[in-house]
Amino acid sequence: MKTRRGRLNVTEFISDEVIQKTSIVKESVRPYRLKVESWVLAQAKARGINVPNVIDYYHDKNGREVLVLERIQGQSLLWRCSQENIKCMSEAGEQIRVLNNTPLDCGWGWINPFTMTGVSESWQAFLLLYTQYYHKLLLEKNILEESHFQILYRLIDNIDFKDSKPCLVHRDIKPSNLIKGNCGKVWIIDWENAILGDSLYDLATFGMRYGHGVLWNSLVQEHEFDFSSPKYIFYEILVLIGLIEFYREFKINYGGRQKQLCRLIQRLSPQGENLNEPH
C-alpha cells in the first residue's frame, strides 16, 4: 500500500478505488479541515466540477479526522510546460470560471465546520480580517512597516469588492493538484484549504506562487478580467503575505519575496508616496 506523508495529513492509497486521508496535526485555527473538505467536495461536484466522490468521513480511535475518497484513475501533472499541461491548466481555469458563475449563498471567508457557512459578513470584511491577522506579526519580524499596512487598509476601503460573489476558492491550484484522468477529464483534488470568496483569488494564488508564465496564461485565458487592476494585484499581495509567513515559519529564505512584496505595495500606493523597504 502506497503512503504519502504531508505536513498536515497522511494519504494512504488503500486500493485502486479508494484513498484515505488522515489528519496528523490538529490545528487550533482549523481543527476540522477534512470535514470542511468533505462539504466543499460535495458543493463543487454539484456545480459540475471534476472532483473525487466522498465515501466516508469520521474520527478514528485517536480522535484524528479521516476522509475516505474515490481514487481517480490517471496521472498527476508534472511541472513542465508541455502541450498536455497547458491544455490541462486551461481546463482547470474553465472549471474555476464555472465556480464563479455558480456562487453559494452562505457567507464569506473561512468556513465554519459546524454550520458550513463563511465566518465573515462580506468579502471586504474577510480581507480586512486577513490583513489584520498578519499586521502585528509582520511588523514585529520587520518584514513590513506600518506605512505598508496603511496602504493595504486604504485599498480595502477603496477597491470595489461588491461585484465579487461567494464562490468556492481552492487556494492551492497547481499541477500536482490536478489529475489527467484516464477518461480524458481534468480533476481538481485537495480542497482542504478552500474558503468562500472571489474565484479570481485562485488565479492570483497561482500567479504569485509560480509566476505569470505559460501555465498561468493557460489558467486565466478563459477569464475576461483586467489582471493589471488594483483588485487583482491586491489579491497577489495577500497571497504573498501568507507565503512569506510560511517561509518564515519553516526557516526558508524569504528575502526575495519580501522585496517583491514591498514593490507590489509601492505599485498600488498613492502617486508620489515613497515607501522604504524594511532591513
**One domain, residues 255 and 201:** yes
Bridge partner residues of 59 (DSSP): 65
**One domain, residues 123 and 221:** yes
Residue 142 is assigned to a structural domain of this protein: yes
Q: How many other C-beta atoms can be found within 10 angstroms of the C-beta atom of residue 99? A: 22
Instruction: Please tell me the total count of domains within the chain.
Output: 2
DSSP state of 149: H
CATH (domain of 18): 3.30.200.20
Q: Find, among 189, 172, 171, 193, the residue nearest to 180 by Cα.
A: 189
Q: How are strands ordered across the β-sheet holding 178-181?
A: 74-76, 178-181, 186-188
Last residue of a domain, one of 24, 48, 70: 70
Residue 127 is assigned to a structural domain of this protein: yes
Indicate if the pLDDT at residue 81 is higher than 80: yes
**One domain, residues 133 and 188:** yes
- Is residue 93 within 8 Å of residue 218, measured between CB atoms? yes
Most distant CA atoms of the chain, gap in Å: 61
CATH (domain of 110): 3.90.1200.10
pLDDT digits (tens, 9 = 90+) for 191-203: 999 999 999 999 9
**One domain, residues 236 and 193:** yes
pLDDT digits (tens, 9 = 90+) for 14-66: 999 999 999 998 888 889 999 999 999 999 999 999 999 999 999 999 999 99
Residue 276 is assigned to a structural domain of this protein: no
- Is residue 118 within 8 Å of residue 107, measured between CB atoms? yes
Indicate if the pLDDT at residue 275 is higher than 70: no
CA 138, chain centre distance (Å)? 20
- In this prediction, residue 277 carries a pLDDT of 67
**One domain, residues 27 and 115:** no
Q: Which domain holds residue 89?
A: 74-268
pLDDT digits (tens, 9 = 90+) for 218-231: 999 989 999 999 99
Last residue of a domain, one of 70, 89, 116: 70
